[in-house]
Amino acid sequence: MFSCYAVLGLVVLTQAPKAEEAPFKPLAEAKRIDPRFDEILTASQAVMRNAKTFSVAVEMTTKSTVAGEVAPDTVVTHKITVRRPDAVAIESEAVIDDVRKPVLRAICDGRSLITLYDLDPKVYSRYEGPNPAGQIARTLIIPKILEGSGLEILTRNDMRDHILRETSEAKLVGTEEVDGIATEHFQVDWHGAVLDLWIGPKDQPLERKMTSTRVTPLSGGKESTVFREARYTWTIDKPIPDQAFRAELPEGAKRVEDVFETLFYQESAELVGKPSPATALKVLDGNEVNLASLKGKPVVLVFWASWSGESMAVLAPLAELEPQCKEHGIALYTVSVGEEPEEVRKALASAKFPLPVLLDSKDLTAASFGIRRLPTTVVIGPDGVIRSIRRETKELPVVREAIEEFPTK
């Protein structure tokens, strides 16, 4: 695994709040953000920081259409329960064949952390070292399962700052009731996707509902559309029994070192000659790139990270090869692994880097390609089949071979 992780931030919320919080940073003047949105985020974060206990449950429904074909709806539920200073429970379920089934449980009682994947194959990991709650931030299966629910953002200790960093526009639409609760309705531009958020009531402003719509162009003039609706139920400062933080392992569950690696990592060599994983990645300061939409042209992905000296050494020569790649019809992207957007911007601040940078902040795409060391280059043919996955050097032999392999346009 890489040495840098996208930290979930939930664990920090289990710690007792400080007597004085550092002042919030001012909003960027260039952003079109309603001051009320800033105010309500600040108040919402204060509620969570000051609570001795809290739980939040979300039910998320996803409706999607791909190239005109309607996919079956998916329904998942997640619940996070926190009792300070160090007890955390995370539970996820999914509706499969009209039956609600447990998917993931992560239980920390302050002495150990047990993470259980409850579908086949049933596997679990157990950590009994120092600061078990702190291990939640390093357990990549958790953000993988929570992705898209909003909980991976709402439970960040820097929730307010993070949302304002990633939001280019936020406006107050009006006031509405959600499940009998008076809320303020905001519309937000989040990396090119439109989110609608309902937050309330005023004396305890917490997110009650979220909807999002994302449209991604596909080849042949077609597109995919994904609509999500999430509804949140909160409990603040209510007694939580010890039973909530006890894990019961199902019969036949196998103990593994790391649940995420066991479920998602594949050996790179085994992937060559197979279709590329279908994935979509956000562009730094841009929208989103879906690998499926690039089918029909060769694709070169160079995975890197700013903490890797070898990675940083390939960026300048890679930029020099960009015109040749373009001449040969190659879609060339760099993929930043395990780092947040602000870290990537800082790393590239001293250089005028012309290539698009995709963000794999949680290492999920790197894992899907079996990448364990950086830098690594992935070459995908026009047919969407992986041609090679190999370590890269500053001489860029893998990229140069791709240029030779594919004829000029």
> Which domains are seen in the chain, by residue range?
11-262 (2.50.20.10), 265-405 (3.40.30.10)
CA dist 121 → 103, 124, 250, 363 (Å): 11, 10, 11, 22
* Residue 121: per-residue pLDDT: 84
* Residue 154: per-residue pLDDT: 79
Question: Scanning the structure block, which residue is given the tokens 């952003």?
Answer: 31
- pLDDT digit of tens for each residue in the chain (409 aa)? 232 222 233 433 444 444 333 343 444 444 689 999 999 999 999 999 999 999 999 999 999 887 788 888 889 999 999 999 999 999 999 987 788 899 999 999 999 999 999 888 899 999 998 888 888 877 778 877 887 788 878 777 788 998 998 888 999 999 999 999 999 999 999 877 789 999 999 999 999 999 998 877 776 777 888 899 999 999 999 999 999 999 899 999 999 888 877 776 666 778 889 999 888 898 987 788 888 888 899 999 999 998 888 888 899 999 999 999 999 999 999 999 988 888 888 888 866 688 889 999 888 899 889 887 889 999 999 999 999 998 898 889 999 999 999 987 6
CA dist 29 → 25, 42, 112, 229, 293 (Å): 12, 18, 45, 31, 35
* Residue 340: per-residue pLDDT: 85
- Taking residue 3's Cβ as centre, other Cβ atoms within 10 Å add up to 9
Residue 67 in tokens = 């190239």
* Residue 150: per-residue pLDDT: 85
Structure pTM? Answer: 0.65
- Taking residue 302's Cβ as centre, other Cβ atoms within 10 Å add up to 23
Main-chain dihedrals φ then ψ at residue 322, nearest 5 degrees: -55, -45
* Residue 219: per-residue pLDDT: 65
